[in-house]
Structure 1
Amino acid sequence: MVRGRTTVWAAALGLAAGLPGVAYAEGAAPGPLPTYRAADGARAVEGKPSTADAPLIEAGSVYADTLGPGDRVYRLVLDKDESNVYVSAVVRPAAGAKVSGSDGIEVEIMTTAGRSCPGSTGRANFGYDAYPIGAAGVRWGAEDADCAPAGVYYAKVTRTSAKGYDQSPWPLEIKVQREPGRGAGAVPTTAPSSWPSGAPALPGSEPVARTGGTGFNDARALGAGVWRDEMRPGQTRYYRVPVDWGQQLGLSAELAAAKMTKSYGSASGGLTVSLYSPYRGLISDKDTSYDGKQAGVTFEKTPPVAYENRFASDRSVQPVSLAGWYYVAVTMGAKVAEFTEDAAPVPLTLRLEVAGAPAKAPAYKGSPAAGGFGVGDEDRAAAQEGLTAPEAAEAAERHRAMRVVAGAGLGAGTVLLLVLGGWTVLGRRGRGATAG
């Protein structure tokens, strides 16, 4: 029994003390920009240029592939259960890759007859720089008679690349998510005719430091408030915000003055901000030039999150139809390096408004949380603490370990010290800005 307690005690100490700290010491020269963090446990897959021998992809899984210009096709086997299945694709260009404004990625869901499912196709294009972008396609399980039956479907991922621009294969991440069918009760099936819109009421409080992630998989959680980060030319930071049913998200992003190396400079698309849905579908994006002095963009409030938004004709309204994590990607253009000092990161300020009280969720036949949708108490806690998804998973594991420690007979005071120690380290990790 004593030996068992010692083993659990050591494991708990490891969980509390083994968290990584700040990546770079203050004042140190900046290293390479951090690379996109791929999804943990992603399964290798090789899409085909046609439906013949297309590999199977399944809901609840994430896949890793590469994608050059052209098409890659994947196979889905779906039930007739009125569920909606979302297939997202994220491409990660190499740093400095040359892209045009017409280059981008598209995801389309098709039947075995080669027919595109209505409203299924999602697309995203690059701006002035090469940075990770995502698009998502959807199979509507209840609203489309041709794509509702059980059977085989195909997800076609297309990368467009203009002549004279980067043609090399890029890493591709595919995620498949399932939203269960509607349950008993009335659910509107027509788009709302109006909603409260306009400029958000953005807060002006003192900013709190939060370091953004490298991609969707380690996006930093934020709630309503003012948040401070740092950026370097060519860098993209990712954040995630829990937005519940009936709530609206408004946001702005601003770059402060940089340390100039020339008397004048300007970068078109020096600041780009993209907003994504809980299934990584692009909602909208904005960019503005940056001259090293000040730049900012503001998004109007999204429509209130509502199931019926998916029936809207407006492509920026359709994705705002699920409660869950909404993603904000902020990019500083690589050209900014031509007239600023890269060793002095530029302050970035994010202002977020989450308007409205959470509304009652629609009735489902199953749990949407299994597909990664909805907002729960753990999500709100993660936003309050500023945790990425991996950090939230670590925190949950630490709590489980604490319960094991408590069950093994350690005193309550010892358990409390371990929990507080772990949360202190994790809180510093989430809130403190790092170089890079």
Structure 2
Amino acid sequence: MNRQRNRGRVTLATIAAVCAVGALPGQAHAADGPATYTFDPAAEAVRGAETNADAAELKPGSVYKSSIGRGQKLYYRVELDDTTDAYVSAVAVPKAGTKVAYGDGITISIRDLDDTRCSSEDADFESAEFPRPITAYAHRTVEKGSSLCEAGGTYNVLIERESKATSSPDAWGLELRFEAEPALKDAESLPTEAPEDWPSASPVPPSGKQERPGGSSFYEATGLESGEWGDSIVPGQTRFYRVPVDWGQQIFATAVLSNSKKSTEYLGNALVMALDNPAHGHVDNAMLSYSGGSSSVALDPLPPVAYENRHAAGTDTSAMRFAGWYYLSVTLSPEVAEHYGDEPIGLTLKVKVVNESKQSPYRGDAGIFGVTDDDRDMARSGESAPEAVESATMTMVGAAGIGTGSVLVLGLGVWTVLARRRATPAAVPPGAGGQPPYGGPPQAW
């Protein structure tokens, strides 16, 4: 179901691209300047409510676009059964050029109707005090021997924003996802404790650099496999990449920022590299200081992907709980422009995935929580999801010899059919929670 849903998302994007006859996503080079975050084009606009009684429902396998103001606490709701593990993630996207401070961020939690918290996670800017997309997720997991949040029914999703008085008051965009984890083959045979010992020695980093520009969002993330990948980045920009990591495999990643001839000014926390899991839950990040010379930073060693990692106390180990696309993002501080100019600086990513794949614990199709041969092909070729579908669609159109007018008619027809098959989102009164008007946040986000 998740695979089909992803194909539907990129099909809509393909039709839009054909009709607009515009540039393909993910192709803008860093020299073009910082791009805005590209929200998933299939995201449905939804408003958060300040009371849970007015909360709009999120559907499993869907993506939504919303926003949150400074100091707001906004509710959404989900309907859960008494067996399925569920995850709701939020990507918070401050506007470029705004101000954020240490401790600014969001908290997302899933709660039952008695306000018992099933789980929660924070995402904040830490000591790298510049705007960039940050992610967090909350989950409701049904665990043997636990009575916490085990009943089926309505649950609240609460997203809270914390911003200092000195920070910009502008609303932040939100990209929300609700994913359901597949059923297990044999839950009784799985370990109930996280592994204590696993290989932590970093492997020899790959060499033989190839050029591969990153995308502007999770949706446009560029596929990578093990290798040394060259790119460039300008101050204030975030570049997104994704790497397939299967069961039993470990991912290692290093970011290298090239030297500059323009200055030797020291800047702490000039670059942030973050890793997020297939459900867009945050795993770990690393920060790099810069003084004009070549500098590198690596993620701390992480355990092999395993179902039982969810039982770990540490959030970084716990987040390595399922296979699929793992997302790397790299952001260069806008402050770099003040001393080094706004020209692109060379960026190199060294990515290494080790170990043979192990069998999935799920029964049937794993959806986004697995790695397929198609995923590996996309990582090998460097395609993002929208690029892969656009390429196939344009090839089909070219082979059929359809004229521009026919393409437009075809696109509109398919769009209409897909739209009719989409579920209608729950209605929320205009202006609830101080939200923007219908249609979601401004396109500048």
Q: TM-score, normalised by structure 2?
A: 0.80
Superposed CA deviations along residues 213-242 of structure 1, whole A, max 9, x for unmatched, are: 111110100000000000111111010000
**SS of 1:339 mapped into structure 2:** helix
**SS of 2:303 mapped into structure 1:** coil
Distance 1:405 1:142, change over 3 A: farther
Displacement of 1:197 in angstroms is 1.2
Contact 1:267 1:333 in 2 (8 A): no
Displacement of 1:142 in angstroms is 3.7
Contact 1:200 1:251 in 2 (8 A): no
Q: Is 1:250 aligned to residue 252 of structure 2?
A: yes
Superposed CA deviations along residues 296-335 of structure 1, whole A, max 9, x for unmatched, are: 1012332010000001111110010100000011011111
Q: Give the aligned partner of residue 415 of structure 1.
A: none
Residue 195 of structure 1: which of 198, 205, 210 is its match? 198
Q: Give the aligned partner of residue 57 of structure 1.
A: 58
Q: Distance in 2 between matches of 1:400 and 1:141?
A: 45
Residue 72 of structure 1: which of 67, 71, 74 is its match? 74
Q: Distance in 1 between matches of 2:229 and 2:321?
A: 26
Contact 1:267 1:336 in 2 (8 A): yes
Residue 148 of structure 2: which of 134, 146, 149 is its match? 146
Distance 1:395 1:273, change over 3 A: same
Distance 1:245 1:31, change over 3 A: closer
Q: Give the aligned partner of residue 133 of structure 1.
A: 134
Distance 1:66 1:265, change over 3 A: same
Q: Give the aligned partner of residue 44 of structure 1.
A: 45
Displacement of 1:266 in angstroms is 2.2
Superposed CA deviations along residues 347-387 of structure 1, whole A, max 9, x for unmatched, are: 101001101000111133x4221xx2200011000000001
Opposite residue 376 of structure 2, the aligned amino acid is R
Q: Distance in 1 between matches of 2:27 and 2:240?
A: 17
Q: Give the aligned partner of residue 7 of structure 1.
A: none
Contact 2:264 2:293 in 1 (8 A): no
Contact 1:281 1:319 in 2 (8 A): yes
Contact 1:200 1:300 in 2 (8 A): no
Matches for 1:16-415 after TM superposition, within 5 Å: 20=23, 30-69=31-70, 70-80=72-82, 82-117=83-118, 120-126=119-125, 127-143=128-144, 144-184=146-186, 186-203=189-206, 205-260=207-262, 263-343=263-343, 345-364=344-363, 366-369=364-367, 372-397=368-393
Displacement of 1:39 in angstroms is 0.5
Q: Distance in 2 between matches of 1:347 and 1:105?
A: 31
Q: Distance in 2 between matches of 1:79 and 1:397?
A: 38
Superposed CA deviations along residues 125-182 of structure 1, whole A, max 9, x for unmatched, are: 1122111111111110345423121100011111111121122211111011111232
Contact 2:186 2:361 in 1 (8 A): no
Displacement of 1:201 in angstroms is 2.6
**SS of 1:83 mapped into structure 2:** coil
Q: Distance in 1 between matches of 2:259 and 2:199?
A: 34
Opposite residue 100 of structure 2, the aligned amino acid is V
Opposite residue 197 of structure 2, the aligned amino acid is S
Distance 1:65 1:188, change over 3 A: same
Superposed CA deviations along residues 369-412 of structure 1, whole A, max 9, x for unmatched, are: 1xx2200011000000001111122245467769x969xxxxxx
Displacement of 1:267 in angstroms is 1.8
Opposite residue 350 of structure 1, the aligned amino acid is L
Distance 1:255 1:109, change over 3 A: same
CA root-mean-square deviation: 2.3
Distance 1:392 1:324, change over 3 A: same
Displacement of 1:183 in angstroms is 2.5
Q: Distance in 2 between matches of 1:155 and 1:39?
A: 21
Q: Unaligned 5+ residue runs, structure 1? A: 1-13, 407-436
Displacement of 1:20 in angstroms is 4.0
Q: Give the aligned partner of residue 423 of structure 1.
A: none
Q: Distance in 1 between matches of 2:395 and 2:361?
A: 31
Task: Say which one has the larger Rg.
Answer: 1
Contact 2:27 2:213 in 1 (8 A): no
Distance 1:145 1:234, change over 3 A: same
Contact 1:83 1:142 in 2 (8 A): no
Q: Distance in 2 between matches of 1:210 and 1:218?
A: 13
Displacement of 1:103 in angstroms is 0.7
Q: Unaligned 5+ residue runs, structure 2? A: 1-16, 402-445
Opposite residue 358 of structure 2, the aligned amino acid is A
Contact 1:233 1:333 in 2 (8 A): yes
Contact 1:42 1:63 in 2 (8 A): yes
Displacement of 1:293 in angstroms is 1.8
Q: Distance in 2 between matches of 1:50 and 1:258?
A: 51
Displacement of 1:199 in angstroms is 2.5
Distance 1:219 1:171, change over 3 A: same
